[in-house]
């Protein structure tokens, strides 16, 4: 009797597929929920969960709530978090390869920014792989402009201004225009301006809207100076623990996020400039004199970057300029 019951239970078990264990990935990201990068990341996470039938769940922790921006890459490399997003140029002190997208006036359009990404991508992937990481996708910010409390007509008008900076490149720009660089992360921008720590900043229309720049600034100069990119990457060991089907789901969702993100960025550029204007910010075209002087700063920074980056840097710029 017991034998028959055991056989019956085994037979019943064969009719029911065993439930696969759910894998949960915590994903630290640096920007607030209303930012288009974060919206894109959340859609990526939803796509992965749907494609894996809930077996891989990516939980997005926005605005540095889980891990602060400067620590995200290190945390993913160490396996503290399996996946993350950063502003690429934040890692420039580790390797200049991460900084090419922040050379002022190297690109002048989204088409240029995509071409630069294509030229850099093989070297970026190789660098990340050497750190135990794998690139999933990269999306550009809208072009960077200059926010101030007064109109800037010449480069001399920028001398002595305390600039909010967010990378080695923005600090270098501040130095070259005889300003004073001060590193401030996005969530701290309003306080930094309110307390007088900074009085000007290079950033996108998107960040200006996110941080309600009209509360403490009056002018936005539409320089379209450069388009920094965010990168989303995964700990390679964590990725390799996934099933082949789950790996494909992540790659497919990443490809979709990259394509969607670039479109979102282009839409943001126009829409958010209008939001700035609607809230009282004077959106200005730069004077020819200012633009000419800043382009010379860009030329100097491109030469400095190529020297730092060595043969790889030269190869990237040659491929981009073809």
Query: Using an 8 Å Cβ cutoff, are 268 and 206 in contact?
Result: yes
Does residue 310 form part of some domain?
yes
- pLDDT value, residue 214: 98
Rounded to an integer, what distance in angstroms lies between the CA atom of residue 252 and that of residue 136?
A: 10
- pLDDT value, residue 21: 77
Separation of CA 142 from chain center:
11
Query: If residue 6 lies in a helix (H) or strand (E), which one and from where to where?
Result: helix 2-14
Question: 315 falls in which pLDDT band (50, 70, 90)?
Answer: very high
- pLDDT value, residue 14: 39
CA distance to 87, 105, 114, 262, per residue, from 109 (Å):
19, 10, 9, 12
pLDDT > 70 fraction of the chain, expressed in percent and rounded = 94
Does residue 261 form part of some domain?
yes
- pLDDT value, residue 105: 95
CATH of the domain at 195: 3.40.190.170
26 closest CA partner among 85, 70, 74: 85
Cα-Cα-Cα-Cα dihedral sign, residues 51, 52, 54, 59: negative
Does residue 10 form part of some domain?
no
Question: 8 falls in which pLDDT band (50, 70, 90)?
Answer: very low
Rounded to an integer, what distance in angstroms lies between the CA atom of residue 161 and that of residue 181?
A: 9
Domain span including residue 294: 22-321
Strand partners, 146: 202, 221
Does residue 292 form part of some domain?
yes
Q: What is the mean pLDDT of residues 184-191?
A: 93
Regarding predicted confidence, which is higher, 19 or 26?
26
- pLDDT value, residue 290: 97
Phi, psi of 40 (to 5 degrees): -65, -40
Average per-residue pLDDT in the chain?
94
Does residue 16 form part of some domain?
no
For the chain, report the end-to-end CA distance as a whole number of angstroms: 81
Q: Which residue shows structure tokens 């993350």?
A: 84
Separation of CA 127 from chain center:
17
- pLDDT tens profile 32-77: 999 999 999 999 999 999 999 999 999 999 999 999 999 999 999 9
Half-sphere exposure of 281 (CA within 13 A, CB side): 29
DSSP 322: -
Angle between helices 168-176 and 288-321 (to 10 degrees): 140
Angle, alpha carbons 166-71-125 (nearest 5°): 85
Question: 15 falls in which pLDDT band (50, 70, 90)?
Answer: very low
Total domains in the chain come to 1
Question: 78 falls in which pLDDT band (50, 70, 90)?
Answer: very high
Does residue 17 form part of some domain?
no
- pLDDT tens profile 196-215: 999 999 999 999 999 999 99
- pLDDT tens profile 246-260: 999 999 999 999 999
Does residue 1 form part of some domain?
no
- pLDDT value, residue 17: 41
pTM of the full predicted structure?
0.90
Angle, alpha carbons 163-299-294 (nearest 5°): 40
Question: 20 falls in which pLDDT band (50, 70, 90)?
Answer: low
């Amino acid at each position: 009797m017991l034998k028959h019951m055991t056989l019956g239970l085994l037979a019943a078990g064969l009719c029911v597929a065993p439930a696969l264990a759910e894998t949960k990935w915590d994903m630290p990201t640096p920007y607030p929920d209303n930012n288009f990068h974060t919206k894109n990341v959340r859609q990526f996470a939803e796509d992965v969960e749907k494609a894996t039938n809930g077996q891989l769940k990516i939980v997005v922790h926005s605005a540095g709530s889980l891990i602060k921006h400067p620590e995200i890459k290190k945390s993913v490399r160490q396996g503290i978090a399996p996946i993350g997003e950063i502003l690429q140029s934040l890692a420039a002190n580790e390797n200049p390869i991460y900084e090419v997208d922040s050379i002022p006036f190297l690109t002048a359009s989204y088409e240029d920014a995509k071409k630069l990404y294509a030229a850099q991508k093989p070297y970026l992937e190789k660098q990340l792989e050497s750190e135990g990481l794998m690139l999933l996708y990269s999306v550009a910010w809208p072009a960077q402009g200059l926010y101030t409390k007064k109109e800037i007509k010449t480069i001399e008008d920028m001398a002595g201004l305390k600039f909010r900076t967010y990378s080695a490149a923005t600090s270098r720009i501040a130095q070259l225009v005889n300003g004073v660089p001060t590193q401030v992360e996005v969530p701290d921008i309003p306080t930094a301006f309110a307390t007088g720590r900074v009085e000007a900043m290079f950033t996108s229309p998107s960040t200006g809207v996110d941080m309600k720049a009209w509360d403490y600034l009056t002018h936005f100069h539409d320089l379209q100076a450069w388009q920094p990119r965010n990168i989303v990457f995964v700990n390679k060991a964590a990725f390799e623990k996934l099933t082949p089907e789950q790996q494909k789901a992540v790659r497919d969702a990443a490809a979709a996020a990259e394509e969607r993100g670039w479109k979102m960025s282009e839409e943001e550029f126009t829409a958010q400039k209008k939001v700035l204007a609607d809230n009282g910010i004077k959106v200005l075209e730069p004077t020819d004199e200012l633009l000419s002087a800043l382009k010379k700063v860009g030329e100097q920074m491109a030469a400095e970057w190529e020297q730092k980056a060595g043969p790889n840097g030269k190869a990237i710029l040659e491929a981009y300029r073809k």
